[in-house]
Structure 1
Amino acid sequence: MTPTTGTNGPTPAPPIRVVLADDERMVRTALRAILSAEPDLEVVGEAATGAEAVAVVRETRPDVVLMDVRMPEIDGIRATEQILAGLDEPPRIVVVTTFENDAYVYDALRVGAAGFLLKRAEADALVGAVRLVARSDTLLFPAAVRRLADDHAPTAPAPPAWVARLTARESEVLRHMAAGLTNAEIARRMEVGPATVKTHVASVLAKTGARDRTQAVIAAYEAGFLRDG
């Protein structure tokens, strides 16, 4: 989403394309009104069921999907799985839920959702979350993810093999990721260059088998890697 430079100065970045998936029309209408008021956000589709969400995403190829966790036909968890598995460059999916400490939300994060939002969130929080996940450089609401993991993550009887394969630097990067630091913030904290951090993050994702930072952090909680604080 970085602006490009043309002959007449910087060219505005294209808007972040968003799909809304919720079985309540009033919720979709409210979300559309909030997002459409922002010049850098564009709602490109809506869905009232999980199956519709999968079809609309395949048709419109959005950057971000706001996905209700409980919907007819297939729920938001299964819809998230199908979207992520069916596209080479899938969108970032944010689960929208009524209840913060919900096992369904944890399951959605586990299968690849980038984060979650409460339906009662303020408009600024909603807009900020969409922009944040579109950049995909940090964890959305890390403290809330930790609470979910504390309550719902199964703890492995023994650390999985990937834990021992992490280098000391990769372990440090993973802890910073779990704290919600961006690559730039991690670089300053570790006194290394951003490119070095990017390399470490890529290695962490590969070793944990994670699609993105959120999945890597969830895997770390389940491995017991982050249970010591």
Structure 2
Amino acid sequence: MTRQPEFTPTPERSVQVPSSPIRLALVDDHRMLLGALTEWIRNAADDITMVAAVASWPELTLHPEFPVDVVLLDLDLKDNIPVALKINTLRSAGVRVVLMSTYSEPNVVREALASGALGYLVKSEDAEMIVEAIRAASKGESFISAELDLALNASDIGGAPKLSAQERRVMALYGGGEPVKSVAYELGISEETAKSYLKRIREKYRVAGIDVGTKVALRRRAIQDGILIQDGPAGSL
């Protein structure tokens, strides 16, 4: 009987299967910046595919490629849609969010991250951080720069929140002793709108860890933050 030669199987080689690229959408209403960022990201990262670069929120949600993996979203879109609502909508669709803004105030950053964003970028920071933030978000990890992290940890929780010019006017007048009706008249707005501004002001201070629930507390804080000078509104208003 002829003996068959023994066959030793060749060990299988481990095949590295490349992971799918990160599908990214960018939303910014500054078209020049939108174009520059799009081009930069495409050249800087082979693992990121730019599938949408749009200038408004509706353009994103109606885009044929939506939902994507990660959205790089401008915090400062002037569309009167609360950023918390946008983040909630994206998260419900399985999209991870990185915010970018011109604002670096700790209270603004904290509020954004508390709303569910995984990353926060200040537009003045190095562009390389954009790619780092996108990659981190795609893995469900949070990202802020070392400088911003240091500012958050070092900041006083009692620091003043960012108020709009109109909110500062309302706070100055109301803190200066004017009733809501007079505040509305002075600023040419309705009483309901004036009340809405006061509610927004108090909420911003609440997020910052400061209670201005009473008129006395609001007046004291307005003086402390330079919004109310002595017995009158700040001259810069």
User: TM-score w.r.t. structure 2 length?
Assistant: 0.53
CA offsets 1:116-148 (integer angstroms, 9 cap, x no match): 101122221111111122222454344354457
Task: Give the structure 2 partner of residue 31 of structure 1.
Answer: 37
Contact 2:133 / 2:143 at 8 angstroms: preserved in 1? Answer: no
Identical aligned residues as a percent: 26
| 1:123 corresponding residue in structure 2 | 127
Q: Deviations over 1:49-83 (max 9, x none)?
A: 23333334x84222211111121332544322322
After superposition, what is the alpha-carbon deviation per residue over 1:60-116, rounded to whole angstroms, capped at 9, x for unaligned? 2222111111213325443223222x42xx222111101211654433222111121
- Give the RMSD, CA atoms, in angstroms: 3.0
CA distance in 2, matches of 1:148, 1:82: 30
Query: Is the Cα–Cα contact under 8 Å of residues 120 and 143 in structure 2 kept in the other structure?
Result: no
- Whose RCO is larger (CA < 8 A, sep 6+)? 1
Q: 2: CA distance between counterparts of 1:30 and 1:97?
A: 16
Q: Which residue of 2 aligns with 1:92?
A: 96
CA pair 22-140 structure 1, distance change in 2 beyond 3 A? same
Q: Which residue does the alignment assign to 1:208?
A: none
Q: SS at the partner of 2:89? A: helix
The structure-2 alpha-carbon separation of the partners of 1:119 and 1:138, relative to structure 1 and needing over 3 Å to count, comes to closer
Q: 1:130 to 1:8 in 2, by over 3 A?
A: same
SS of the residue 2:16 aligns to: strand
Match status 1:136 vs 2:140: yes
CA shift in 2, pair 1:94/1:148, >3 Å: farther
Between the aligned partners of 1:104 and 1:51, the Cα distance in structure 2 is 24
Residue 49 of structure 1 is matched in structure 2 by: 56
Alignment of 1:134-173 (within 5 A): 134-141=138-145, 142-146=149-153, 150=157, 151=159, 153-155=207-209
* Structure 1 unaligned spans of 5+: 1-5, 158-229
Change (3 A) 1:146 1:13: same
Identify the range of structure 1 (6-15 vs 17-26) with the bigger mean alpha-carbon deviation.
6-15
User: When you count helix as a share of all residues, which structure comes out higher?
Assistant: 1
Partner of residue 181, structure 2: none
CA distance in 1, matches of 2:117, 2:142: 13
How many residues of Structure 1 are paired with residues of Structure 2 in the alignment? 148
